[in-house]
Amino acid sequence: MKPALIVHGGAWDIPDEAVDACKSGCHRALSAGWAILSGGGSALDAIEAAIMVLEDDPVFDAGYGSHLNLEGHVECDAIVMNGATLRAGAAATLQRVKNPIQAARKILENCPHMMLVAKGAERFAKKQGIKLCKPEEMVSEAEYEAWMKCKSDKHAAEHHRGHEQGTVGTVAIDAAGNLFAATSTGGTCCKLPGASAIPRLSAAAATLTPKPGASPAPATAKPS
């Protein structure tokens, strides 16, 4: 089967000044994932690599670029889904994992539960070899400034790059026909502590997997 890879950086009204940065980030994520797929690697490895690039880029609402919650903390969610079995692995409200998609994958592969949250998810991630960071290392300068404006005045979408910035995501199919989808998000700005987007993320991931009797659409996205 011909490998294919799709990457998105969130469905939102991108300001003109952020368009180039968003395009650049998506292209770099696409390149990271496609390097794996084009070399015969797995779809699971490809989507993880692509999402990690997006999580490390402060222009996206995931990982380091995540919106802050009402108390000024980052709380990240991520999910990975297997298109063949519809089994998923999810991590929610993470504060000390730089790449939440790594924790979600470990849950998919090595955990009897579909989802782990907060400190329990972080303890599991650490046992799986994922290094934990300090919560403040997850806070980008842009989102801290936005949160401070909301704190000193009132919450307003214009303080942020986009209140409806949403998730980042990717879907890939490899040469063996394995299909995987993944999404990652920091949620909405100034959300209540403990709020999770996992129900929405799982629904989004499910829409990217084939239904019984259907086959995946023949789409291919390659680095330009």
Q: Choose the catalytic residue: 93, 167, 183, 209.
A: 167
Structure-block tokens of residue 148: 């401070």
Among 49-63, 149-163, 185-199, the range of highest mean pLDDT: 49-63
pLDDT of residue 213: 38
Structure-block tokens of residue 183: 């999404």
Identify the weakest region by mean pLDDT among 140-144, 181-185, 217-221.
217-221
Structure-block tokens of residue 102: 């790594």
Q: Which residue has the higher pLDDT, 163 or 90?
A: 90
Structure-block tokens of residue 90: 């999810």
Instruction: State the amino acid at position 81 in one-letter form.
Output: M
Q: Is there a catalytic annotation at residue 207?
A: no
- Identify which of 140, 185, 147 has the alpha carbon closest to the alpha carbon of residue 10: 185
pLDDT of residue 218: 32
Residue 89 class from Cβ within 10 Å (0-12 exposed, 13-18 middle, 19+ buried)? buried
pTM equals: 0.88
Mean pLDDT of 218-223: 42
d(CA 2, CA 220): 8
For the chain, the average pLDDT equals 86
